[in-house]
Every structure is written in C-alpha cells, then in structure tokens.
Amino acid sequence: MVSVKYSGVTKQYDDGFIAVEELNLDVNDGEFLVLLGPSGCGKSTTLRMLAGLEEVTSGEIQIDGVTVNHLPAGARGLGMVFQSYALYPHMTIADNLSFGLRMAKGAAKLTSDEIKQRVQEAAEMLDLVDHLDKRPRELSGGQRQRVALGRALVRRPKVLLMDEPLSNLDAELRHQMRNEIRRLHDELGTTTIYVTHDQIEAMTLADRIAILDKGVLQQHDAPLNAYHNPANEFVKGFLCEHIDDLVNTANSLFKND
C-alpha cells in the first residue's frame, strides 16, 4: 500500500512568490496521477516537494500515512525521472542502470548478484539488453530516456515520479514511450505521479488528472470526467477546448478525401 497525500501544502519561494497554494491532493495506491497545467503553474514544485528536493513552506505531505516533510530525499523511497536524462557519459548503460544500487548503504545494500539480476530485469523490460555495454552517446534519445526510466525502476521505488520525461523526444517516440510507460505501470503497479503540460499525454496516461493553474488545484478527476464536466472556465479552456481544437483540426484534414 503506497498512497500519497498533500494536506494544505503551500510553497513560497525565498523571493516571496507563492508557487503552490493550499494544495489538497491524494494519490491512491497503484494509481497513475498526472499533474497537468500550463508552464509555471507549479507542477514541478509540487513534485519536488514530495521528492524532498524542495522544502514545504506549510502543510503536510504524507507517504503511506507517514509525514515526510522533514525526511531526507534519499529516505523517501521514491524514484525520479526528469526531462533531461542526465546519464553518466563515461559509464556503460549497465553501470548507469546499477549506479544508484551500487551506491546504496546500510539496509538498502544489495549483493553484486542481486544488482546484476535487477539490471538484467530492467534491461529486458525496457528492451535495452543489446545495449548494456554501450555508452550513452551510442544510444538514441528514446533509448537514453528508457535508461533514465530503468535507473529509477531498478531501485523498486514505492512511488515513481516523472517530470516531463518525454519532452525531448520527437512525436513518434513520445507516442511509443507513452505507451511503454503506461504498460510498465500496469505491469508493476507502482504508484506514479507524472508531470506534463500536454493535454493529450495527460488524457491517455492518467487514471486521474490534477489540473493546476497559478499554483492552485482546479480539478482532480478522471480524464473523461474532467473533459465532460470541467470544474470552471480555466479547465474548460485549457483542457476541453484545446482537445476539441485538436479533434477539429484532425477532422478537417480528412474532410475533402
């Protein structure tokens, strides 16, 4: 059981700017939640507070009922995948995948056989078996992004956090990776929080979407509910009308066939 709960969470940066305001949000065990909203609305801040990379100004964040506000990032049991893959260029793919495991200390320490096993499993899951001896520069963008994902997965995180992991990829690869990510989620059942500003990405990936604007949660709902019953004008414009526009554009392309 791994659930996440934000209770009245506010983030005010040192310059006084309030990036997230009084956020109440719960993520169920095994759920795929997408944080959606325009640039600057507070998506990354929301994720980074949960990851322990950003302090909470007020309110409480709980993982499995335990308040984590003051727990160091490394003790929270989370895996994180960012937009830039930040792989170690001089290391092989296998070493990139195992790096976090090799650095683990204390109770988290694994034997080298266990590490090998986990790397092999991740490589099979992500179709990287033939690339384990290569360096990152010998891989395509999509393959590198899969390594970044694998690096988070080998640690068997309680919660997987992804911040616009596909935005560096071209449209075709994004589409492929999106399907991969959802398939992996269904296979592993890891509670997942995924940040994007892309409405279609949110609609296709999410069990539920949390839509933010200017640091304030606008609607937290199943994708189709949000589309059919937008909570306010912002959601209507940002989600519904945007999707309608895309559909209309697509339809008009085929009209004269």
Ligand X SMILES: Nc1ncnc2c1ncn2[C@@H]1O[C@H](COP(=O)(O)OP(=O)(O)OP(=O)(O)O)[C@@H](O)[C@H]1O
For ligand X, the binding residues (CB under 6 A) are 13, 15, 17, 19, 37, 39-45, 197
Counted residue by residue, the chain has a size of: 257
Q: Report the partner that residue 197 touches, choosing among Mg ion, ligand X, none (CB closer than 5 to 8 A by kind).
A: ligand X
Shortest reach from residue 214's CB to ligand X, in Å: 8
Shortest reach from residue 72's CB to ligand X, in Å: 19
CB-wise, 175 or 197, nearer to ligand X? 197
Q: Report the partner that residue 42 touches, choosing among ligand X, Mg ion, none (CB closer than 5 to 8 A by kind).
A: ligand X
Pairing of the two strands 208-213 and 216-221: antiparallel
CB-wise, 39 or 252, nearer to ligand X? 39
Q: For the sheet with 159-163, list strands across it.
A: 78-81, 159-163, 191-196, 32-36, 208-213, 216-221
Shortest reach from residue 43's CB to Mg ion, in Å: 5
Shortest reach from residue 168's CB to ligand X, in Å: 13
Choosing from 44, 191, 192, 219, the residue that interacts with Mg ion (CB under 5 A) is: 44
Residue 175, token pair as written in the block: 């589409």
The window from 38-46, 210-218, 233-241, 244-252 that contacts Mg ion (CB under 5 A) reads 38-46
Per-residue CA distances from 244 to 115, 225, 250 (Å):
48, 15, 10
Q: Report the partner that residue 15 touches, choosing among ligand X, Mg ion, none (CB closer than 5 to 8 A by kind).
A: ligand X
- Which amino acid is present at 142? G
CB-wise, 31 or 213, nearer to ligand X? 213
CB-wise, 82 or 99, nearer to Mg ion? 82
Shortest reach from residue 202's CB to ligand X, in Å: 12
Q: DSSP state, 90?
A: T
User: Phi/psi class of residue 254: alpha, beta or left (left: φ > 0; alpha: ψ in -120 to 50)?
Assistant: alpha
| Residue 100, C-beta contacts closer than 8 angstroms, at least 6 positions apart | 151, 154, 155
CB-wise, 45 or 96, nearer to ligand X? 45
Angle of CA points 192, 185, 100, to nearest 5°: 70
**Pick from 256, 210, 218, 257: nearest CA to 237:** 218
Q: How would you write 200-221 as a 3-class SS string?
A: HHHHHHCCEEEEEECCEEEEEE
The window from 39-47, 72-80, 184-192, 249-257 that contacts Mg ion (CB under 5 A) reads 39-47
By CB under 5 A, residue 143 contacts Mg ion: no
By CB under 5 A, residue 46 contacts Mg ion: no
CB-wise, 17 or 254, nearer to ligand X? 17
- Interface positions with Mg ion (CB under 5 A): 44
